[in-house]
Structure 1
Amino acid sequence: MDSCCENKAGELAQLRAKQSRVLYIVLAVNVVMFLVEFIAGWIANSTALLGDSLDMFGDASVYALTLFVMHRSVRARAGAALFKGGFMLLFGVLVVADALRKLILQEVPSADLMGVIGTLALIANGYCFALLYSHRSDDLNMRSTWLCSRNDLLANSSVIIAAGMVALTGSLWPDILVGLAIAALFLHSAGQIIREAWIEWRASAPEPQQCPQPLLGITEPTATPVQFEPAKSCCAGEAQTAKKDTCCEQPRAASTPVKGCCSPKQQD
């Protein structure tokens, strides 16, 4: 039994080491591509490239967070997945806002620069996707990371298609439509990740400890009945018996005269 547990622990440690190595590689790729696409997006005035660059930044943050919770509990990993889902949701809203802004300003992007940078991003994300593919079923965080990489490939392909359409038509609509399509994809994936992470978060919640408040004068239940000595009072002659529920009564103030059994008995 001990040998089996040791083997499982060793296999888990090896898996975590492989995951960490892969995540560090894709983290570096996404940081570099974020800088490249962000600068190119501003130069080309392309909503699609800017959206893709923010996608790269979001993925880099996701990978860094996944590395942070790699050796932590299931609940911590579920919390990280919730954060990632929320980040993707926010990203989708920002892309929609940028697409609306470009539509109002009627700015046509540079098709040539869009095509070159989009192709470079597709190659980089294809490499990341291949690295993450074998880890897509390891746990929820690796699955969400793989989904991010898959979304990247679709977004990069859309940017390349949009660049070709802008070059053919001279219109800004292909760039706007691609931006909105990327936003819709990320909003859908964000909802999927948040839903799965919330289920795992609730399932891994710690069981509440039952700590009942001790009764008056009793700290722990005892196996044998408690014997009470007769009270030294005017009723000392009467037998004092412990009733079952008297321990739950509120204590009387010491300075208040007690009426009842301790009051002088009326003479017949």
Structure 2
Amino acid sequence: MNRRLLLKLAVAFLAALPLAMPVAAADKVTVFAAASLKNALDAANAAWQQETGNETAVSYAASSALAKQIEQGAPADLFISADLAWMDYVAEKKLIREDTRANLLGNRIVLVAPKDKAEPVEIREGFDLAGLVGDGRLAMGAVDSVPAGKYGKAALEKLGAWAAVEGKVAGAESVRAALALVSRGEAPYGIVYQTDAAADPDVAIVGTFPEDSHPPIIYPVAVLSESASPASAAYLDFLKSDKAGPFFTEQGFTILK
């Protein structure tokens, strides 16, 4: 076979090839996560992407709102709730893969005030929170739906302070929205997670609620039944791993294993 014929065959072969070889797309995991997780989870997700090349898309909101969105068919791969009740809610509707469910993190609730007006408060049975709030408002997550609000109400009831302060409560759509009211000086006090307080330099913790004054604060996680991402299971394993742990503990969460 002469050189001219070889050249023609080579040109014909190259012409038959696609202009560009297909590149495998990175898997994306869509996560619905409690608003209080934002700082820690954003950091963990950056590490996950750097390690695997896979991306995450996170929707942060109150666990109640996210659970309702999942119920209505919103496309997501994982749900991380700030309490057991809302995970139970989606589980009862067969919207999670039960074998993937795990208790991931723990937290504490605290009383916060604007940093420039912060004075220590002794949180104990019978303490006069209503007197401290005065003519202002107590910022909390909505007490009938937002987990931080439910924990806060339970604690105040246990300590005998709820009845006097109930009429002063400014119920917010999420714990981060309650935090913002205090941070902006629109409320003299607020009840949030200690991890939220750590994320905002304009507020200070003035007191911590006794752990026995409210149900244990537990963040469960699970892969959703309709998850279509091949990376969902690996991402969940990452969240439970020692690699992800420091991102959560640095924000004040405790690791539950």
Asked if Structure 1 and Structure 2 have the same fold, meaning a TM-score greater than 0.5 normalized by the shorter chain, the answer is no
TM-score bucket of the superposed structures, by smaller chain: under 0.3
Question: TM-score normalized by structure 2?
Answer: 0.22
Question: TM-score normalized by structure 1?
Answer: 0.21
Greater length-normalized contact order (CA 8 Å, ≥ 6 residues apart): 2
Q: Which one has the largest radius of gyration?
A: 1
Structure that is richer in helix per residue: 1
